Chain A
Amino acid sequence: MTSARWKSILRHLVLIVITLATIYPVLQVIGISLRPDDRLYSTSLALIPKGATLQAWHNVLFEKPFGTWLRNSLFISVVVTLLSITLASTAAYAFARIRFRGRQAGLMGFLVTQMFPATMLLLPTYVLMARLKLIDTPAGLIIAYVATALPFCVWTMKGFYESIPRELEEAALIDGLTPFQAFLRIVLPLSTPALAITALFSFMAGWSEYIVARVVISSKGLYTLPLGLADMAGTFQTEWANYAAGSLLVCLPVVTLFILLNRFLVSGLTLGGVKG
């Protein structure tokens, strides 16, 4: 066999081993969701338990307002994603390309917001939201989640912009485009991989978040998926199976989104126009 073939076999071997180790705990969660008796732990290594039942999946999907939770969560996460991408892609462009006073301090400012232990911010966040009349509104959650997502998104976009040669924009400016047009038409289309990452991250910022949601939202009609699942856990006999099934349902949209975004994370796109 050729060495290229050996390399490919080795690559798959490594990938398969890591993938198996990665999905094993997930398979366990699937197993829990199928257990007929409500137990979190079992002595068996079998992934599909004896007397497996889909009862928990039925409970989550049909006995509870799963659709409402899903709709609320989707609405919030989609708005958070759009807002974060818009705010981060513009702010990061200034940080990457323009030398202005306060630039370094501004960049560090975004990092600094991540350093305070989040649990200690819960109580004041509640007070703040109450003063802004944002308690029990989706808007309150959206603002909180955008603020969670922005620091990462700004820094990642900034890093990516810097890897795009400046010559492209300079040529556009000479052709008569305004700086903002150059950004919109030249730089942004070349940044799809970074936009894909920040989109996924912003979506995740609120998707399975529980603690802030618990503080801000109280009406059942506004429950997001994590709130709904936690609420549901207490109302059935088979608490753990339900929770496991619900968690698996929660991660499906994320995986779907990632699969959709994957086309932007594939090598082959080259930076046309400028030869290194």
Chain B
Amino acid sequence: MAADSSRSRLFPWLLVGPAMLVMALVVFYPFVYNVGIAFSDMSLRTFRNPGFAGFRHFIEIFTTSPLYTILGKTVIWTVVNVTFHVAIGLSLALLLNGPVKGRNIYRALLILPWAMPQYIVALTWKGMFNYQYGAVNLILGRLGVPPVSWLSDATAAFASAIIANIWLGFPFMMVICLGGLQSIPKEMYEAADIDGAPAWTKFRRITLPLLKPVLVPAIVLGIVWTFNSLNVLWLITEGGRPANQSHILVTWIYNEAFTLYRYGYAAAFSIIIFLILLGFSILFVRQTRGTEAVY
């Protein structure tokens, strides 16, 4: 009996251990290394032999950097993107879950934004937003709308990047939702039909709650990834144009680290990002009871 209970105590760790080991191996060292750099004055000059900087970078970030403005933009960027990703992805999954003619063709075409390498599609979108010859303004022109200077106006440039990023991200949510929908027993809808429940009620009372276990992790991760997504915004705004106004926190850090070579400062900034996301995720998971089962 004693052996049996120690075996069953070991069982979860046998299952969890290997995956945790891989994560620890790849993530732990770089993380600690970064914390070290954040308290050093590492830059291009002091790359080989950085000195100790204490909390200098953190103080600088909180006193002289446009932290709050950029944080605000990052929140807008994240919320708008993820909201549209989930809304479009879920709607498409619902439309393409049942027997629809040409379902597989629709699905295969709709996954393309996810399947394409980001670099080429980001630059293609940038071309489409060009003032003179971009497809967006040409199409707007045919509809009688005056051309928008998408990339030279700060707000419009930010909006362009958001549009491109929405396009890029919804297929992922669509695939998640398609998977999640398969876990809902048909019998539940049949029972609701017998009770004469309208479609909206079925969606709110059956579909959404039963999608939750799969959707909540996808949304949390979607938020974390979008908060830290560099490529699309960086490529479309050419590193924050116009006038360094199109930045979210990660593009700001990237600029500090790889254009200005202020590694210590950038590492300190990335720790602040980490703490913001950590705080948010703990709250979100607790609020949605994401670690617990639905039944």
Contacts and interface: CB of A to CB of B under 8 A. Distances in A.
Interface of A: 11-12, 14-15, 18-19, 21-26, 28-29, 32, 40-43, 45, 87-88, 90-91, 93-96, 98, 100, 103-104, 106-121, 123-125, 127-128, 143-144, 146-147, 150-152, 154-156, 158-160, 162-166, 179-180, 193-194, 196-197, 200, 204, 208, 210, 226, 229, 243-244, 247-248, 250-251, 254-255, 258-259, 262, 264-271, 275-276
Interface of B: 8-9, 11-13, 15-16, 18-20, 22-23, 25-27, 29-31, 33-34, 88, 92, 95-98, 100-101, 104, 106-121, 123-125, 127-128, 130, 132-135, 138-139, 167, 175-176, 178-188, 191, 210, 212-218, 220-221, 224-225, 228, 230, 249-250, 253-254, 257-258, 263, 266-267, 270, 273-274, 277-278, 281-282, 285, 291, 293-295
A19 B124 contact: no
Q: Which 7 A-B pairs have the closest CB atoms?
A: A159-B213, A155-B217, A124-B30, A124-B33, A193-B182, A43-B133, A147-B26
Contacts of A194: 179, 183, 214
A121 B34 contact: yes
Contacts of B119: 210, 247
Contact of B113 (A22, A107, A154): A22
Contact of B124 (A28, A109, A164): A28
Contacts of B270: 116-117, 120
Given A110-B23, A154-B19, A270-B186, A28 B258 contact: no
A259 B104 contact: yes
Contacts of B121: 25-26, 29, 247
B27 A113 contact: yes
B235 to A, nearest CB: 12
20 contacts: A25-B121, A28-B124, A29-B121, A41-B130, A87-B19, A91-B19, A95-B16, A103-B12, A104-B291, A121-B31, A124-B31, A124-B34, A151-B23, A152-B218, A155-B220, A156-B176, A179-B8, A208-B117, A210-B117, A255-B112
B11 A270 contact: no
Contacts of A26: 112-113, 116, 121
Contacts of A276: 185, 187-188, 191
Contacts of B277: 115
A75 to B, nearest CB: 19
Contacts of A226: 117
Contact of B127 (A24, A41, A108, A164): A41
Nearest to B249: A117
Contacts, number: 303
Q: Which of B15, B167, B266 is packed against the most chain A CB atoms within 10 Å?
A: B15
Contacts of B215: 159
Nearest to B8: A179
B144 to A, nearest CB: 16
A239 to B, nearest CB: 12
A120 B125 contact: no
Contacts of A180: 11
Given A18-B110, A150-B23, A154-B19, A111 B254 contact: no
Given A22-B109, A162-B294, A276-B188, A143 B25 contact: yes
